């Protein structure tokens, strides 16, 4: 028996964003909402469409770099400085980084100390501020998971807790129309890789397999075809992203994520691109899926950066290997309980050296 965890409410469909205000108001109980929105939406104009009423306000976040524990703590301080009364709802509007920030802020507003104190599994004690997730970029699956991935000195790690799960997500594929093609490819590949790692791991079950198969089929359809995605593709990718997130939330990721976290930690690659760089070298673990991936790169005219680890110092490489070795759950899912023997540090070094 297994308990499937997922967000309790999904507002779905083209134009769903127009009902965001109404949906948020059901969680407000005469309080106010804080919208945390990706700074990119100053350019797309979405920031001007937020349904702010009464004491609601919005904070914009720069996601050029991946979210940090210091950044989350600073946002928490800013919100507490503005009012003695805590917000009733936190609404995250953006890609996976923004959604993870919103999740983490909702947790640290009601739990003492720094967000870095909660990086790990089941460390959050107090119920968070209710939260709503509105992805404007499909693929990360953050909208579906109980993980808020943050970087702190020396590690990239998630706050993994049932308290990190959104209370409501709004999936409106029209919001993804403004995403540049290359960014959508890398983030779409995050979803593809979630599905690949979940279906090839030992933690999956029958229920999850159905979601993964559907997510995989949608990713294959969109990215093996290549070219500018249609609105139908965007809708499918938003569904696939949710399914991929749901799958890893209820199974685990695998070898690719274990390596990509090291690349992001030391070389600051964004998660989707870091995954692509790592996955490109993983034929040994996911042969058919890597072969399809290479075809996807070609059909979408994507050229991955090469030799990215060539200039890393011995110290940086050590830190990357240490990061990978911290990923016990993904590596157990992918390689079994004996993973430390079949995936020793020399093997990890060899794979990093090829990237
Ligand atoms: Fe991922």
Distance 225 CA to ligand 1 centre (A): 22
198 within 8 A of 244, measured Cβ to Cβ: yes
Residue 255's SS3 state is helix
Task: Identify the band that residue 97 occupies on the pLDDT scale cut at 50, 70 and 90.
Answer: very high
Domain boundaries along the sequence of the chain: 9-177, 180-354
pLDDT tens-digit readout, 62-90: 999 999 999 999 999 999 999 999 999 99
Q: What is the DSSP string of 70-96?
A: HHHHHHHHHHHHH-SSPPSEEEEEESH
pLDDT at 3: 84
Comparing CA positions, the residue from 49, 132, 150, 144 lying closest to residue 91 is: 132
| Average pLDDT taken over every residue of the chain | 96
How much of the chain, in percent, has pLDDT values that exceed 70? 100
Sheet holding 9-12, edge to edge: 9-12, 168-171, 131-135, 89-94, 33-38, 57-61
24 within 8 A of 91, measured Cβ to Cβ: yes
pLDDT tens-digit readout, 4-22: 889 999 999 999 999 999 9
- Whole-model pTM? 0.94
Distance 249 CA to ligand 1 centre (A): 11
Q: Do domains 9-177 and 180-354 have the same CATH topology?
A: no
pLDDT tens-digit readout, 181-209: 999 999 999 999 999 999 999 999 999 99
Domain 9-177 sits in CATH at: 3.40.50.1970
Task: Identify the band that residue 44 occupies on the pLDDT scale cut at 50, 70 and 90.
Answer: very high
The kind and range of the H/E element at 97 are helix 96-108
Give the span between the Cα atoms of 326 and 45, in whole angstroms.
40
Domain 180-354 belongs in CATH node 1.20.1090.10 = yes
Distance 30 CA to ligand 1 centre (A): 36
Distance 39 CA to ligand 1 centre (A): 22
Distance 260 CA to ligand 1 centre (A): 9
pLDDT at 296: 98
Distance 146 CA to ligand 1 centre (A): 13
pLDDT tens-digit readout, 127-159: 999 999 999 999 999 999 999 999 998 888 999
């Amino acid at each position: 028996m297994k308990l499937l965890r997922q967000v309790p409410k999904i507002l779905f469909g083209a134009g769903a964003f127009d009902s965001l205000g109404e949906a948020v108001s059901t969680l407000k109980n005469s309080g106010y909402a804080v919208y945390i929105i990706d700074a990119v939406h100053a350019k797309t104009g979405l920031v001007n469409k937020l349904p702010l009423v009464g004491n609601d306000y919005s904070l914009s976040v720069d996601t050029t770099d991946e979210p940090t524990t210091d950044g989350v703590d600073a946002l928490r301080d800013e919100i507490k400085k503005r009012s003695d009364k805590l917000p009733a709802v936190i609404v995250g509007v953006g890609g996976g980084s923004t959604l993870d920030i919103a999740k983490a802020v909702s947790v640290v507003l009601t739990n003492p100390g720094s967000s870095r104190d909660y990086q790990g599994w089941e460390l959050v004690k107090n119920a968070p501020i209710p939260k709503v997730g509105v992805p404007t970029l499909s693929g990360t699956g953050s909208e579906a998971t109980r993980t808020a991935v943050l970087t702190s000195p020396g590690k990239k790690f998630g706050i993994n807790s049932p308290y990190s799960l959104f209370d409501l997500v709004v999936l409106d594929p029209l919001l993804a129309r403004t995403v540049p093609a290359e960014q959508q490819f890398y983030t779409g590949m995050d979803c593809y890789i979630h599905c690949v790692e979940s279906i090839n791991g030992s933690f999956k079950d029958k229920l999850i397999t159905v979601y993964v198969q559907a997510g995989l089929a949608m990713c294959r359809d969109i990215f093996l075809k290549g070219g500018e995605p249609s609105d139908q593709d965007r809708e499918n990718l938003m569904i696939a992203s949710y399914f991929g997130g749901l799958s890893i939330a209820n199974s685990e990721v695998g070898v690719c994520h274990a390596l990509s976290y090291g690349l992001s930690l030391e070389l600051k690659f964004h998660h989707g691109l870091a995954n692509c760089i790592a996955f490109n070298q993983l034929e040994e673990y996911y042969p058919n899926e890597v072969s399809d991936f290479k075809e996807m790169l070609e059909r979408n005219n994507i050229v991955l950066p090469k030799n990215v680890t060539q200039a890393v110092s011995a110290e940086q490489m050590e830190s990357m290997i240490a990061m990978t070795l911290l990923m016990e759950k993904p590596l157990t899912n992918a390689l079994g309980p004996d993973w430390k023997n079949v995936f020793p540090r020399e093997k990890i070094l060899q794979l990093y050296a090829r990237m």
